[in-house]
Amino acid sequence: MKTIDELLSEGVSGKRVFVRADLNVPLAEGTITDDGRIRAVLPTVKALAEAGAKVVVASHLGRPKGAPDPAFSLLAAAERLGELLDAPVAFAQDTVGPAAHDAVDGLQPGQVAVIENLRFNAGETSKDDTERGEFAQRLAALADVYVGDGFGAVHRKHASVFDLPKLLPHYAGYLIATEVGVLKKLTEDVKRPYAVVLGGAKVSDKLGVIDHLLEKADRIIIGGGMVFTFLKAQGYEVGSSMLQEDQIPAVQGYLKRADERGVEFVLPVDVVVSGSFPDLKAKAATHPGTVAADAMPAGQMGLDIGPETGALYASKLADAATVFWNGPMGVFEHPDYAEGTRSVAQALLDSSAFTVVGGGDSAAAVRTLGFDENAFGHISTGGGASLEYLEGKTLPGLAALED
């Protein structure tokens, strides 16, 4: 795929450059709680603006139902982008209507505008090729050139990600180029030992990547809510913990395959439990206990890996040359259940491995728990996209940039 450096060498002064970013930031009562995704697109936006482009930034935010919804407005993201650029950023209150055209028409070389949430138009996410294509045509009228830099959306066959690049000269931004380069290090000529840490709530979300990584990884370490399906598959009591009983046969099959292939599956030896799920807003102590993973009381819920497991997982990461981590080890948003996730993050920092944090909740946990993001090899901006890439799937947004 062509990159932004090639575009800059060709010259962009005065051209309208459409940057498909991922500004899908978390909001609490209209306030951004984590601006990591906005900061991730800054190098691309700055480079284009400094080269004299008229930069049109577009993104989705949340899951509005194809119509304007103030709760999902990109206004806060546009204001934050302006603060980070230390320059005015125009904001259009629609996507392809009069406000968008006025904002773009008003740009001078080197200036930036953000148009409203792409998902306020049903054509963005439509499964109908014609409807999606029509919306892409309307977006194309706003620009001369397309730069894809919203890695968190490249696994979606959406108008601004898949259809629009086909209508304009297209290039990969710095973020996407970096993300793809990192993912190639996890799939091609991997330095070993290669350890993968998978957590999160549902094992069903990770079955595809487990299946693929059984052919590539040396060690797969499991935590989070998904771990209780693994423990149940081994015949253990899991109390009232999250459980996907329908996935037990698949999990048993993966454990058998891992054993046959010599891939080490590492599961908890102890878990932190409570009688109920904690109130994440109150952050009040819930007086959790720690029990052996094979001796959970029937009425208890597992909410984190225990301290012995944290130490075990750290030992399994100590000699790794490559580590990919996707998914927290517990309910890290509450201090009583954050230590497992903290121990894994610290183990990655303590190792000499090339470490990749696979976006989503893992990236949020790194920031929430106060770790220095720059100390990791790479923190991805797209958890779902990273997982699908590692599953070996074709990502529509990357395929469109490669054409």
Question: Is 377 labelled a binding residue?
Answer: no
Question: Is 65 labelled a binding residue?
Answer: no
> For residue 352, with 0-12 CB atoms within 10 Å meaning exposed, 13-18 middle and 19 or more buried, which class applies?
exposed
Tokens linked to 121: 């138009």
Question: Is 23 labelled a binding residue?
Answer: yes
Question: Is 119 labelled a binding residue?
Answer: yes
Q: How far apart are CA 111 and CA 116, in angstroms?
A: 17
Question: Is 94 labelled a binding residue?
Answer: no
Distance of CA 138 to CAs 46, 124, 163, Å?
Answer: 25, 11, 11
Among 234, 229, 228, which Cα is nearest to 272's? 228
Question: Is 360 labelled a binding residue?
Answer: yes
Question: Is 359 labelled a binding residue?
Answer: yes
- Within 8 A by CB and 6+ apart from 286, the residues are 274, 276, 278, 334, 336
Tokens linked to 353: 């491995």
Question: Is 333 labelled a binding residue?
Answer: yes
Q: How many CB atoms lie within 10 A of CB 166?
A: 13
Which string of DSSP letters, residue by residue, matches 83-109? HHHTS-EEEESSSSSHHHHHHHHTPPT
Question: Is 225 labelled a binding residue?
Answer: no
Question: Is 212 labelled a binding residue?
Answer: no
Question: Is 361 labelled a binding residue?
Answer: yes
Which residues are marked as active site? 37, 202, 360, 384
Question: Is 326 labelled a binding residue?
Answer: no
Among 186, 146, 152, which Cα is nearest to 53's? 146
Q: How far apart are CA 42 and CA 386, in angstroms?
A: 21
Question: Is 61 labelled a binding residue?
Answer: yes
Binding residues for substrate: 22-24, 37, 60-63, 119, 156
Binding residues for ATP: 206, 302, 333, 359-362
Binding residues: 22-24, 37, 60-63, 119, 156, 206, 302, 333, 359-362
Binding residues for (2R)-3-phosphoglycerate: 37, 119, 156
